[in-house]
Structure 1
Amino acid sequence: MTDCSDPGSPDGAHPDVSRTERLVPNWLDAPGRAKELDALSAPLRRVVRGLPLGPSRDALRGLPIGHPLHPALVQVPIGAWLSATVLDFVPGSRRGARVLVGVGVVTAVPATLAGWVDWAEQPPEHLRTGLVHAAFVTTALVLYARSWVHRRQGGRAAAAKALGLAGLCAVGVGGLLGGHLAYRQAVGANKSESVTRLLEAGWHAVGTLEDFPVGVAVRRQLGEVPLLVFRCEDGRIRVIAERCSHLSGPLSEGRITDGCVECPWHGSVFRLSDGANVHGPATAPQPAFRVRVDADGILRVQLPGAGQGAP
């Protein structure tokens, strides 16, 4: 049986857990605590946000597919480079390896751009980790570009292979940090996904009709879930989950225009009628509630799919 008693050590670690077992998690957490990186992340963030990308910015964020695009794009260069490394050890496969290295270099460009666009809308801890992640990936890209040059010129096969192996190591470490960003720090995850499991099924009262002035965003708490309630001029009432799916920003404090609310933190725009996200950086919609008003003026809401908790 696992011993869950008080570890009794200053750092909270169990006495029989070796330093080696904690080494990788601690190393991956370290960039997020390196405040020295803020001096670099701040100007870089302004540059990325200022890029004239237009509508393609939302496409690079992954809005059309409903989740970040960057993790999907990186599969191509990583796969190409890994395959090239395998071919480097297969006699007679020099040309195929060179083609794959080139494919990886070319396809890494849009993947990197999508990553920078996502990175620019994160909080400080994630920005720091993302910078270190980007440093390793950029190193890999430079190494593979140089490897391709050697392969194209011919005569320096050993150097080309060595550069490729070094690049694979760099992109591997970068991928490890990328996984840490996605799964430990939840970058790109839908922050509203748990709402249906936090609420019970059925209709729930959230107040009387008089509690919601026309044209004013009102925040109401339903169990553990905050709601945004908005009463339109035509009398219709819109209710969506109040915490933004991007980074849990307070939508009730955002600007409401043309039937949409804009998150005050990073500018994601959601339609009040159905919660659809019409502008990023959020890639997931807001849970939208059904609404009814009883004869006595009580406003009730219901979330489709609610009550799907743990068995």
Structure 2
Amino acid sequence: MLRQTITRIEQAGALDGAGDKIQAAVTSAIRPRTLRDLLHGTWMGHPLHPVLVQVPVGAFISAAVLDLMPEQFVPGAKKAATVLIATGVAAVPPAALAGWVDWSEMTKDRRRVGLVHAATNLLATGLYASSLVARLSGRHARGRALALAGLSVAGAGAYLGGHLSYAQGGGISHAAPQVALVPEEWTEVGSLASLPEGKPAVRKAGDVPVLLYRQGDRVSAMIERCSHEAGPLGEGDVVGTGSEACVVCPWHGSTFSLIDGHAVHGPAANDQPVLPVRVREGSVEVRRP
């Protein structure tokens, strides 16, 4: 039943109208690239949203533990739980903002699940905000009930978030699985002379497309499929030259250093996997790290 429900959400085209409008609003509201990179987590090499989520989740769960403990066993539990819930509610907006920015760059099936995930978390936050108001008004029993209801709804939202991340691949590196398919032994991918100077070229290591970049006798190699949504980096534009050269994904604009795969601009938050390279008797060889 649960899996059927998730499948229906993934296929719910009725959500696309609202999703498209919200996506346009998010894109319009958060235009500066530096801000988008910050919220994507590009600067840290990892999506920022799951990091920020730890604060409200930790605060709400800790408050639930205190709410379930007898007051005589934990003096001051009521006050501490109130502080924790206030902390959790205050921590929701930045976590949600980072989530919306990631969501705005996803495919429609992921955005559908993301919409329900966000709506569920909004309901949970409303319950926690109501719990905070009740506690500050001295109605601690009502506050506890609202908080426990909020935790239950937040649990459903967390399930949807987990499905979005792990089952649908939202936020993961789509290039990382390709690394495991690269041969372990040194594998020839072409001659050094066949590689253009200062321009990327695509060759195959086994069945895996690899992006090669030559500077004189030195060659760097990375997985050719973009870590964000597996876009073809080999079809992307090159910006900069020499050691500053970067390739821009033609699908969503993620930008990676051609030297070390570092993510320079999002929406990719994960660096592009690079491969060991050697030039031997005029042949370029790569292998799995």
Question: What TM-score do you get using the length of structure 2 for normalisation?
Answer: 0.87
- 2:63 maps to 1:84: yes
Query: 1:150 matched to which residue of 2?
Result: 134
Greater shift after overlay, 158-167 or 84-93?
A: 84-93
Please tell me whether the aligned partners of residues 203 and 300 of structure 1 are also in contact (alpha carbons under 8 angstroms): no
Question: Which of 75, 78, 90 is matched with 1:94 structurally?
Answer: 78
Query: 2:26 matched to which residue of 1?
Result: 48
Greater helix fraction, Structure 1 or Structure 2: 2
In structure 2, relative to structure 1, the CA distance for the partners of 1:200 and 1:52 (3 Å cut) is closer
Please tell me whether the aligned partners of residues 180 and 288 of structure 2 are also in contact (alpha carbons under 8 angstroms): no
- 2:242 maps to 1:256: no
Cα distance in 2, alignment partners of residues 169 and 292 from structure 1: 54
Please tell me whether the aligned partners of residues 98 and 148 of structure 1 are also in contact (alpha carbons under 8 angstroms): yes
Structure 1 portions without partners, runs of 5+: 1-22, 306-311
How far 1:218 moved relative to its partner? 3.0
How far 1:292 moved relative to its partner? 4.7
Q: Percent same amino acid among aligned pairs? A: 44
Equivalent position SS for 1:273: coil
Alignment of 1:16-31 (within 5 A): 23-31=1-9
Cα distance in 2, alignment partners of residues 53 and 160 from structure 1: 40
Alignment of 1:146-225 (within 5 A): 146-154=130-138, 156-209=139-192, 211-214=194-197, 216-225=199-208
Please tell me whether the aligned partners of residues 217 and 228 of structure 1 are also in contact (alpha carbons under 8 angstroms): yes
In structure 2, relative to structure 1, the CA distance for the partners of 1:160 and 1:183 (3 Å cut) is same
Please tell me whether the aligned partners of residues 215 and 230 of structure 1 are also in contact (alpha carbons under 8 angstroms): yes
Greater shift after overlay, 97-106 or 195-204?
A: 195-204
Q: Deviations over 1:160-206 (max 9, x none)?
A: 22322221111110001011111111211122223332122343222
Alignment of 1:223-238 (within 5 A): 223-231=206-214, 237-238=219-220
Greater shift after overlay, 53-62 or 182-191?
A: 53-62
Q: Deviations over 1:201-233 (max 9, x none)?
A: 34322234454444554322221211123445x
Query: 1:241 matched to which residue of 2?
Result: 223
Q: Which amino acid aligns with 1:132?
A: V
Please tell me whether the aligned partners of residues 192 and 279 of structure 2 are also in contact (alpha carbons under 8 angstroms): yes
Please tell me whether the aligned partners of residues 61 and 117 of structure 1 are also in contact (alpha carbons under 8 angstroms): yes
Q: Deviations over 1:16-71 (max 9, x none)?
A: xxxxxxx2222223211111111111121122223145524323222233221222
Q: Which amino acid aligns with 1:176?
A: Y
Please tell me whether the aligned partners of residues 287 and 303 of structure 1 are also in contact (alpha carbons under 8 angstroms): no
Please tell me whether the aligned partners of residues 227 and 242 of structure 1 are also in contact (alpha carbons under 8 angstroms): yes
Q: Which amino acid aligns with 2:102?
A: D
Cα distance in 2, alignment partners of residues 78 and 209 from structure 1: 52
Query: 1:128 matched to which residue of 2?
Result: 112
Please tell me whether the aligned partners of residues 188 and 286 of structure 2 are also in contact (alpha carbons under 8 angstroms): no
Please tell me whether the aligned partners of residues 226 and 232 of structure 2 are also in contact (alpha carbons under 8 angstroms): yes
In structure 2, relative to structure 1, the CA distance for the partners of 1:173 and 1:235 (3 Å cut) is same
Question: What RMSD, in angstroms, separates the aligned Cα atoms of the two structures?
Answer: 2.2
Please tell me whether the aligned partners of residues 144 and 164 of structure 1 are also in contact (alpha carbons under 8 angstroms): yes
Please tell me whether the aligned partners of residues 238 and 291 of structure 1 are also in contact (alpha carbons under 8 angstroms): yes
Aligned residues: 279
Query: 1:12 matched to which residue of 2?
Result: none
Cα distance in 2, alignment partners of residues 284 and 93 from structure 1: 41
Question: Which of 79, 85, 88 is matched with 1:104 structurally?
Answer: 88
Query: 1:281 matched to which residue of 2?
Result: 267
Equivalent position SS for 2:226: coil
